[in-house]
Homo-oligomer: A and B are copies of this chain.
Amino acid sequence: MTITYREALRQGLREALAGDPRVFLVGEDVGRYGGTYAVSKGLLEEFGPERVRDAPLSELAFVGAGIGAALGGMKPIVEVMTVNFSLLPLDQIVNTAAILRHMSGGQFAVPLVIRMATGAGRQLAAQHSHSFEGWYAHVPGLKIVAPATIDDAHGMLGAALAEDNPVLVFEYPALFETAGDLSSTPVDIAHAAVRRQGTRVTIVAYGGCVPKALSAAEKLAAEGINAEVVDLRVLRPLDMDTVLASVRKTRRAVIVDEGWRSGSLSAEIVARIMEQAFYDLDAPVARVCREEVPIPYPKHLEEAALPQPEKIVAAARGLFQ
């Protein structure tokens, strides 16, 4: 069945609500508006206002309430409309959701899923174009997933709900219109995936940058460089086994990250490759990241600020010089 990434997300949500009465969805405009990105469209009508619950503009409170509800026996799916607004409830995520299980001596689990849209690319300017997945991946106690494919858009939510601990699911509006086959194979949220087999260089990417990495790989193939593309999928904890296996084979790597370069998740990948595969490298690992600038509104500047297939190609090519 061919569906869009958006529709895959929607079906994942629908199945989650249908499958467990403890699951409910809460967030700004998830109900009557139909979801900012139409991801929850029709769910209010199907499940009613108790289970598809519109919240006022008060991110700190409704994220915290999601944590409390999880502790109280429910399985909340909290939608923070976009990652840009997730700084407001960040304290609850970091200082309660992530900490509670350990700090209580293991008494509590927090079976909570937080979904948010992330990333740039739609000319929304500086305050609406952040990519903070890397920040969240810094925090022990959270699992972070980034669906880049139709199957993952559909299946990662269910896998997250099965975890009994806080999982953050990042959704990529830049991918919402992409379409593809939905398979019936269940997805895990433990492993990275090799999206393209290759031999000479490994391109590591996640979320909205995966299609860019694949497109770069095609261009590289035309130049005779056969690139392997690894989709991280899970940003915490990192599945370094998959990354390292690929790097050990290709002996070269480019890490792609939509976050600002300094202190991005890409740095962590590079550091781990340094620590664990230094002697397997034929060249220093390269990075393609967001430029160190608040994202500007005009299309040409936004494009210049973000990772692009051409930049990935150039970085990969650079490893052979």
Contacts and interface: CB of A to CB of B under 8 A. Distances in A.
Interface in A62-99: 84-85, 87-88, 90-91, 94-95, 98-99
A258 to B, nearest CB: 13
Interface residues of A, number: 53
A98 B138 contact: no
A95 B127 contact: yes
A164 B281 CA distance: 44
A275 B263 contact: no
Contacts of A293: 102, 140
B127 A138 contact: no
Nearest to A59: B91
Contacts of A260: 138-140
Nearest to A133: B263
Most buried by B among A238, A262, A284, A286: A262
Nearest to A125: B103
Nearest to A266: B271
Contact of A267 (B87, B263, B281): B263
A207 B32 CA distance: 50
Contact of A284 (B84, B275, B292): B275
Interface in A239-281: 259-260, 262-268, 270-271, 273-275, 278-279, 281
Contact of A286 (B103, B266, B275, B285): B275
A34 interface: no
A173 interface: no
A134 interface: yes
Interface string A97-115: 0110011000000000000
Contacts of A294: 98-99, 102-103, 140-141
Contacts of A296: 102-103
A287 interface: yes
Contacts of A99: 126-127, 294
A8 interface: no
Interface of A: 60, 84-85, 87-88, 90-91, 94-95, 98-99, 102-103, 125-127, 130, 134-135, 137-141, 236-238, 259-260, 262-268, 270-271, 273-275, 278-279, 281, 283-287, 292-294, 296
